[in-house]
Amino acid sequence: MKRGIISKIVLGLIFAYLFFPIVATLLFSVATRWSTTILPEGYTLSYYKLLFSSPEFGHALLRTINVSFATVILSILIIIPSMYLAIVYYPRLEKLFEILSILPFAMPGVILAIGLIQMYSRGPLQITNTPWILIGSYFVLILPFMYQATKNSFRTINVKALTEAAMMLGCGKLETFIKIIFPNVLRGVISAALISVSVLFGEFVLANLLVGDNYETIQIYLYKMQKVDGHLANALVASYFMVILLMSLILIWLAFRRETEVRGQKTEAR
Amino acid sequence: MSYVQVVNIDKSFQGRQVLKGIELEIEKGEFVTLLGPSGCGKTTLLRIVAGLERGDGGKVIVNGREIIEGQNKKEQNIGMVFQSYALFPNMTAFENIAFGLKIKKIPTQDIRKQVEEIMDILSISGKENNYPHQMSGGQQQRVALARALVVKPDLLLLDEPLSAVDAKVRESARILIRDVQKKMGITTIFVTHDQLEALVMSDRIVVINAGEVMQYGTPEEIYRRPANKFVAQFIGTYNFLPSSLVGIGDKETEICIRPEHILLVSKDQFPQIGNAEGIKLYGTLENFYILGNTARAEVLVQGRTIIVDHLNRFEGPKFALKEEVGLLIDKKVCTILGR
Ligand SMILES: Nc1ncnc2c1ncn2[C@@H]1O[C@H](COP(=O)(O)OP(=O)(O)O)[C@@H](O)[C@H]1O
Ligand SMILES: [Mg+2]
């Protein structure tokens, strides 16, 4: 009984610790003046209006969307078929995948960026300060998320048996992948993509060091705004938070649906 | 030339030989069962016949065409039902069954007709729109069977399709599979480790042990004339008795007698029945239990337990435990095993 109360208090404190900054950010983004009072003196949506009507914001957002989606799509096109081939034809390569997918965690962004700048700031492949280097480095950055999330999907189906069953019916290899394997790992791919996009939306270190002003992403824009106008920056953070929240909710929904489906399967089998 | 020929197939995994010089000939329309303990190489042999695995040596010919691993399976026209069924989870029962026909570019109306027909034969009509996870094990197994049958394969391969369903379903599925196979006249190789299943369903049985064919024959031949001790021990029950005990054959040979061929009689009756041909033994009744339609007695004769089976009739003789009884064996039913 006593224990229950203590754990509730601890949970409440943690929640407050996480929640207050967000509420404060939200409030500040709609406050007219807020310096000596506990709550803002007045409320306005003008910062949002300003933010969404600023062409600079629109361009930065578009750049981030472009580079994130390009990376995620490229990553899906390369990683999913590779994993499939590894599972069915070269099981030994799966270990290599596992190691590759942990490697990016071991490399701090700054070190990665300096290495990349040294490598790509002169020929033959001079791509620093272009979005291409961002796509390349982001590809590496999201590899762990793409790999882990889709690996679980591959685990839920018997990839090898399904492939052989399709082949026995005269189905070619590519067709088998497109018609049988991909639809069955699609949900994992979607959650991998959502996680990756939210990671990339928040990425600042690599973007700042590798392309900086030459390809101003939403995080670089935010960094600049913080120095100019706090209210505007907060409006930006609040909008960003909403987008991430939405993506997280979709993720939770996907995960929940999968769970109920699996449970449904088990009861059916009985 | 036989419809299916398996010629001198060898196969090793990591230096360990799992198939040794397998030879098989199967006629068109035959139902042949690969029977052996688990791990003896049945699945490996089936996969080589399917062209999913490459043998180290030898070849497989089906309907005059050599099966090559890795070659496009559209030409080869072999149907397969996997142990795990391997139904496509993202497709309904109908889509699963129609898959092979679609690959063959059969017109849509014909696909519908053929799928409905096979679903009717296998009594799974009405399940068209169910996904695999919405069906019972028995239904999934029939969908898997339908998916393999609907393309009218030259050869049907079944890898322990009944091992995952419960006993009642298994019994009816045996009959269903055999009926459909006969009706459609499809040459079939069936894999099982269950000897009863093999005896009930097969035209011929291949008994395999440790990657070698022990015997290839009809259920009758396999049961009556086991080629060696492995087959004798693996199929049904046998009493293995030294020749000295029954008084036939030379020394060192072993005599096998099925429990159902021994007659259990009361000691008083014993002298009057039987003839000169019969072997008469005395023993004590050690154990007695009911198996269902048969009953089994264990009789101790000169330090050896002999198993005797008889029909479990109500009016049958009654014996007490530890009672002295007589055993009557006809010499004709004694099998002398070749070494
Ligand atoms: N891909 C493989 N790699 C290594 N060993 C294998 C492989 N497939 C089968 N084996 C081995 O070959 C033997 C025969 O296996 P299998 O054909 O599956 O037997 P069965 O189907 O009769 O139970 C077993 O000892 C098994 O461990
Ligand atoms: Mg097997």
- Residues B273-311 pLDDT 10s: 766 667 888 899 999 988 889 999 999 998 899 999 999
Same domain membership, residue B283 and residue B243: yes
Number of independent structural domains in chain B: 2
* Residues of B in Cβ contact (< 8 Å) with A158: 84, 86
Rounded Cα distance, A127 and A215, in Å: 12
Q: Kindly report, residue by residue over A99-127, the tens digit of the pLDDT.
A: 888 888 887 778 888 888 888 887 787 78
Shared domain for B16 and B145, answered yes or no, is yes
Same domain, yes or no: B230 and B246: no
> Over 70: is that where the pLDDT of A25 sits?
yes
Q: Which residues of B touch A157 (CB under 8 A)?
A: 89
Q: What is the pTM of this model?
A: 0.83
pLDDT in tens, B117-159: 999 999 999 999 999 999 998 999 999 999 999 999 999 999 9
Residue type present at position A78 = I
Chain A: nearest CA to B228, how far in angstroms? Answer: 36
Judged against a pLDDT cut of 50, whether residue A267 lies above it is answered with: no
Mutation target for A interface from B62, B95, B103: give the one with most A CBs within 10 A.
Answer: B103
Tally DSSP H helices, then E strands, for chain A: 12, 0
Helix, coil or strand: residue B295: strand
Which residue of B lies nearest to A156 if distances are taken between CA atoms? B89
Residues of A within 8 A of B99 (CB-CB) are 166, 169, 171
A161 touches chain B (CB under 8 A): yes
Q: Are residues B11 and B95 in the same domain?
A: yes
Asked if B58 and B5 count as a contact pair (C-beta separation under 8 A), the reply is: no
> Is A56-269 in CATH node 1.10.3720.10?
yes
Q: From the candidates B88, B127, B150, which should be mutated to test the interface with A, based on the most A CB atoms within 10 A?
A: B88
Same structural domain, B200 and B73: yes
Please list the alpha-helical segments (H only) found in B104-203.
108-121, 137-149, 167-184, 195-201
Residue B255 · residue B249 · CB < 8 Å: yes
Q: What is the spatial distance between Cα B171 and Cα B177, in angstroms, rounded to a whole number?
A: 10
Q: Say whether both B173 and B206 belong to one domain.
A: yes
B22 and B140 assigned to the same domain:
yes
Contact assignment for B78 to A172 by CB distance below 8 Å: no
Ligand 1 contact, B192 CB (< 6 A): no
Structure tokens at B256: 């096998």
- Mean predicted lDDT score pLDDT of chain A: 85
Domain that holds residue B98: 4-234
Q: Would you say residue B214 has pLDDT above 90?
A: yes
How much is the mean pLDDT over chain B?
A: 91
